[in-house]
A and B are shown apart, each in its own frame.
Chain A
Amino acid sequence: ETGVTQTPRHLVMGMTNKKSLKCEQHLGHNAMYWYKQSAKKPLELMFVYNFKEQTENNSVPSRFSPECPNSSHLFLHLHTLQPEDSALYLCASSLTLGGGREKLFFGSGTQLSVL
């Protein structure tokens, strides 16, 4: 248990569905991240939030919409996804964004399948 909880663990959705992924961290961290891991590809950074403010959008398509209502919660809203969006979506947090050797603490991920 890393202190970062993601729900659901698995999600199957059609291309016309709207769903949301949820992440909650209990570590008192101020920065939260969404990463994507596709099969046989490296982990890719999608979004970064620092003190609820988005500081990074790594050219992610608009069908992925993040939301960070507070420093402990992060959502990823999904709509009209494509089958190639099927991947493991990982949430992570860190105490701060930079100024040091900040380790990331990851959740267990949501395995998403788009049919």
Chain B
Amino acid sequence: DQQVKQNSPSLSVQEGRISILNCDYTNSMFDYFLWYKKYPAEGPTFLISISSIKDKNEDGRFTVFLNKSAKHLSLHIVPSQPGDSAVYFCAARVNSGGSNYKLTFGKGTLLTVNP
């Protein structure tokens, strides 16, 4: 049973426009959420995160929104650039005392930004 779901396997966007990547989760114990980006032949790299006590976190062109009541988060990239083309993974963590390192990942969404 997938606790973190990225229902769109792929997304195609024009350069300069906004990219919106979505992620849904089922475990209400998740208290911290992260987005990782992965280029082909490379490992995932951390992009941005948000704590469950916030509803928005912004870092340059990247903004993550969290809607706890809907158990939904989204990553907005604006403006999108061709170099943003990659697989984006949503991940979530349960704060279970000393074991709050375990991340549950989604399957990823392949973003293609067309010039």
Which residue of the partner chain, among B43, B46, B91, contacts A4 with CB atoms under 8 Å? B43
Q: With the chains together, A103 CA to B32 CA distance in Å?
A: 11
Q: With the chains together, A94 CA to B2 CA distance in Å?
A: 25
Q: Does B30 contact A (CB under 8 A)?
A: no
Q: Chain B, 74-115, contact with A by CB distance < 8 Å: what is the 0/1 string?
A: 000000000000000101000000111111111110000000
Query: Which residues of B lie under 8 Å from residue A102 when comparing CB positions?
Result: 101
Which residue of the partner chain, among A2, A42, A101, contacts B45 with CB atoms under 8 Å? A2
Which residue of the partner chain, among B101, B104, B105, contacts A97 with CB atoms under 8 Å? B101
Knowing A40-B107, A42-B4, A101-B32, the reply to whether A48 touches B41 (Cβ < 8 A) is no
Distance in Å: Cβ of A112 to nearest Cβ of chain B = 14
Which residue of the partner chain, among A2, A42, A99, contacts B105 with CB atoms under 8 Å? A42
Which residue of the partner chain, among A42, A43, A44, A98, contacts B98 with CB atoms under 8 Å? A98
Q: Does A34 contact B (CB under 8 A)?
A: no
Query: Which residues of B lie under 8 Å from residue A94 when comparing CB positions?
Result: 101
The B-contacting residues of A in range 94-115, CB under 8 angstroms, are 94, 97-99, 101-109
- Name A's interface SS: loop
Q: Does B22 contact A (CB under 8 A)?
A: no
Query: Which residues of A lie under 8 Å from residue B103 when comparing CB positions?
Result: 43, 45, 104
Q: Does B49 contact A (CB under 8 A)?
A: yes
Q: Are B106 and A42 in contact (CB under 8 A)?
A: yes
Query: Chain A interface (Cβ within 8 Å of chain B)?
Result: 2, 4, 6, 9, 31, 40-45, 48, 56, 90, 92, 94, 97-99, 101-109
Q: Can you give 23 contacting A-B residue pairs, CB < 8 Å?
A: A40-B107, A42-B89, A43-B89, A43-B103, A44-B105, A45-B102, A45-B103, A48-B102, A90-B43, A90-B44, A98-B99, A99-B98, A99-B100, A101-B49, A101-B51, A104-B46, A104-B103, A106-B36, A106-B44, A106-B45, A107-B43, A108-B42, A108-B43
Query: Chain B interface (Cβ within 8 Å of chain A)?
Result: 2, 4, 32, 34, 36, 41-46, 49, 51, 89, 91, 98-108
Interface contacts beyond A43-B44, A106-B36: sample of 8 additional A-B pairs, CB < 8 Å, sorted by A: A2-B43, A2-B45, A9-B41, A41-B107, A42-B89, A98-B99, A106-B45, A108-B43
